[in-house]
């Protein structure tokens, strides 16, 4: 066993490992954010074989001001590192498995309503009203309306993840058959269909980007750079502010797609494939919300109740 390899040296090897596995840049950033915090917590660079389960447990227990979901991500990153270290014979034991993973909170899914979406679409072309000294309140037109409309419709119509939308390329968008190829977690490829209205919005936006290479990003910022999660979130938050909506975020579009897919007759198994989930666990949460709709509607429509039989 290579007991003299330090944690930092092991991390160099692990980075090569995840590059060879072609994990997504987002996963790599998540992992190494955890490793930076763990290294700072240790305050030194000990041999990886000398790190104990108590070190892992104390590190996780000392994290304050973060959600249980983020804490679970830390546990997942460290677990991936130790899985690799065991396989490489750098450590004798997978110590992270001796530390119980935190159980994240189950947050209530809050989809957008049709009125919310219409507000966003109808207000994205103009600024919020503002006043200048001695003049009446006014607004001005905003740029990139075609791009922003296409982004919102694609998010709503496909349930695409933020990272998948940011990584999408023009060559992945089949306008004739209205399909978008995306590469999800673990670089797994899947095909997302979109409707003609969404296709029309994407076509109208791409028409403003003439002579673009086919490997260019499907959506770009005002500076011509591909979006990342932060710039995409910033864009959507500003659209939400102009529409007077609080709590606008990327993942709510995914929830809205999923719930309406089931409400409108879609089946859970095809939804699982479209969302790129490895299990039906999350889909079951959407199904429970749809069942609540059915129960409420039955109370309104029951012939036995309505006829007072």
Q: Is the dihedral of CA 226, 228, 234, 238 positive or negative?
A: positive
The two structure tokens encoding residue 42: 């240790």
Tokens of 183: 């590469």
Among candidate residues 75, 252, 254, 255, the one labeled active-site is 254
The dihedral sign for the CA sequence 81, 82, 85, 86: negative
Q: Among this protein's residues, is 169 annotated catalytic?
A: no
144 is catalytic: no
Active-site option among 94, 251, 263, 285: 251
Apex 120 CA angle, 117 and 122, nearest 5 = 105
Residue among 161, 172, 242, 255 flagged as catalytic: 161
Candidate list 2, 37, 178, 277, residue with the active-site label: 277
255 catalytic, yes or no? no
Is 296 noted as a catalytic residue in this protein? Answer: no
Specify the 3-state DSSP secondary structure of 213: coil
Tokens of 46: 């000990």
CB 214 within 8 A of CB 171: yes
Of 185, 204, 209, 238, the catalytic one is 185
Is 286 tagged catalytic? yes
22 given a catalytic annotation: no
CB-based contacts of 209, cutoff 8 Å, min separation 6? 216, 220
Catalytic residues: 161, 185, 251, 254, 277, 286
């Amino acid at each position: 066993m290579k007991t003299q390899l330090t944690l930092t040296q092991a991390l160099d090897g692990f980075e090569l490992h995840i590059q060879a596995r072609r994990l997504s840049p987002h996963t790599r950033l998540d992992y190494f954010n955890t490793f930076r915090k763990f290294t700072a917590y240790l305050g030194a660079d000990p041999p990886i074989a000398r790190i104990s389960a108590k070190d892992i447990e104390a590190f996780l227990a000392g994290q304050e001001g973060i959600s249980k979901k983020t804490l679970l991500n830390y546990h997942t990153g460290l677990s991936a590192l130790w899985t690799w270290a065991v396989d490489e014979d750098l450590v004798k034991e997978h110590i992270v498995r001796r530390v119980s993973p935190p159980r994240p909170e189950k947050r209530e899914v809050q989809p957008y309503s049709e009125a919310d979406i219409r507000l966003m679409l109808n207000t994205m072309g103009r600024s919020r009203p503002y006043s200048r000294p001695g003049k009446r309140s006014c607004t001005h037109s905003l740029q990139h309306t075609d791009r922003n409309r296409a982004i919102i419709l694609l998010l709503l119509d496909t349930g695409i993840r933020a990272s998948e939308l940011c990584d999408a390329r023009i060559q992945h968008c089949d306008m004739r058959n209205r399909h978008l190829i995306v590469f999800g977690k673990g670089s797994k490829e899947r095909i997302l269909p979109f409707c003609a209205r969404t296709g029309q919005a994407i076509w109208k936006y791409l028409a403003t980007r003439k002579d673009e290479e086919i490997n260019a990003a499907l959506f770009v910022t005002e500076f011509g750079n591909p979006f990342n999660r932060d710039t995409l979130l910033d864009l959507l938050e500003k659209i939400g502010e102009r529409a007077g909506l609080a709590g606008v975020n990327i993942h709510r579009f995914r929830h809205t797609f999923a719930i309406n897919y089931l409400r409108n007759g879609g089946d859970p198994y095809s939804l699982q494939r479209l969302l790129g989930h490895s299990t039906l666990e999350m889909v079951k949460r959407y199904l429970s919300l749809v069942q609540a709709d059915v129960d409420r509607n039955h109370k309104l429509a029951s012939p036995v109740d309505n006829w007072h039989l």
